[in-house]
Structure 1
Amino acid sequence: MSAYLLLKFFHVLGATVLIGTGAGIAFFMLLASRSGDPRLLAGTARLVVIADWVFTAPAVLLQFGTGMALMEVTGYRYGSPWFLAALALFFFIGACWLPVVVIQYRLRHVAKAMLAGGPDTELRKWMGRWTALGIPAFCAILLLLWLMVAKPLAVV
């Protein structure tokens, strides 16, 4: 197998993990938060935090590393509008994802406080912020995927 195909395989694998984990985390966190069950929310938030460190973080590193290596192997220019748009989206997604991880820790603590009889007002506040960051980040991931497939404005 050529270096290009190997890099492309791992790049696609990383994208698949990011999109799948992102969609799964969003689905389970939204369902848990809407259930009103603080035990379910606490357990889900705990697992979501673990999933982000086990799946999302390594996939981000894989994406960046294989993306840069593919740029070298294919000869695309780093100054091309396509690459600059892809890089901007990558960093935008990261700027959304890092606070989301922190918020997931906060949601876990909120759920534990709810178990002790605390109010759910903090839950609404933090889920609102989590959603406000998650929606644009996920849309940006889909746009980034389209850029990788279509490669508009790519200059070799």
Structure 2
Amino acid sequence: MLYLWIKYIHILSSTIVFGTGIGTAAVMVYGHLYQDIAVKVAIYRYVVIADWIFTSTSGFVQLISGLALVYIANIPITTFWILGGLIGYSITAICWFIVVYLQIKIKQIAEVTYATGKPLSVTYYRYFYLWFFLGWPAFISLLIVFYLMVLKPYSLFGS
């Protein structure tokens, strides 16, 4: 019964990670497209908060619950789908940490721009485009992790 409860928490946390990841990314893009700097500032503040509250906590819970499931089921960590999932999750996490740093910097630049009335800096645009492009490997890696979690292949070419 413990295994099933942990599995439930694991699946729930994975939906939160995936959903908030896509949701905050979409809202961040919408914020970037707005011309009104006050709107940008408000959106970016909420995106940073949402990522810390939802994505970081559920990402941590997902990692711990996944490792607990592997331990309880006595599955070797070197099993293809588990090792692949951990690698994909690591890629996602590395990208996510950089993305969150960039989100904070983008928010800070927008706040300064709002306070001073100056135009957005070149640095803002560099950070935004880097943020955008780093989101793709994180997103694709999560799709691969979902594939591995659901289908549990034992090799690259199937079961």
Q: TM-score, normalised by structure 2?
A: 0.91
Deviation, 1:72, is: 1.5
Secondary structure, in 3 states, of the residue corresponding to 2:72? Answer: helix
Partner of 2:153: 152
Q: CA–CA distance in 2 between the matches of 1:86 and 1:110?
A: 35
Secondary structure of the structure 2 residue equivalent to 1:149: helix
Runs of 4 or more consecutive aligned structure 1 residues displaced over 3 Å after TM superposition: none
Structure 2: which amino acid aligns with 1:39?
A
Show the counterpart of 1:137.
138
The letter of the residue matching 1:98 is: F
In 2: Cα distance, 1:107 partner to 1:143 partner:
29
Partner of 1:95: 94
Report deviation, 1:46.
0.8
Query: Aligned residue for 1:51?
Result: 50
- Residue pair 1:11, 1:66 contacting (<8 A) in 2 also: yes
Q: Distance in 1 between matches of 2:151 and 2:36?
A: 43
Query: Counterparts in 2 of 1:6-155, with a 5 A limit?
Result: 6-115=5-114, 116-120=116-120, 121-153=122-154
Q: What is the distance in 2 between the residues matched to 1:43 and 1:53?
A: 16
Instruction: Tell me if structure 1 keeps the 8 A contact 2:81–2:154.
Output: yes
Bigger mean CA deviation after superposition, 54-63 or 119-128? 119-128
User: TM-score w.r.t. structure 1 length?
Assistant: 0.93
State whether residues 42 and 107 of structure 1, in contact with CA within 8 Å, keep that contact through their aligned partners in structure 2: no
- Secondary structure at the counterpart of residue 132 of structure 1: helix
Query: Which residue identity does 1:53 align to in structure 2?
Result: W
Deviation at 1:61, TM superposition (A): 1.2
Structure 1 Cα separation of the partners of residues 66 and 142 of structure 2: 14
CA contact (8 A) 2:9 2:65 kept: yes
Question: How high is the sequence identity, in percent, across the aligned residues?
Answer: 32
How far does residue 36 in structure 1 lie from its aligned partner after superposition? Answer: 1.9
RMSD of the alignment, in Å? Answer: 1.2
Q: Aligned partners of 2:41 and 2:58: how far apart in 1? A: 25
Residues in 2 aligned to 1:45 and 1:35: alpha-carbon distance in whole angstroms:
11
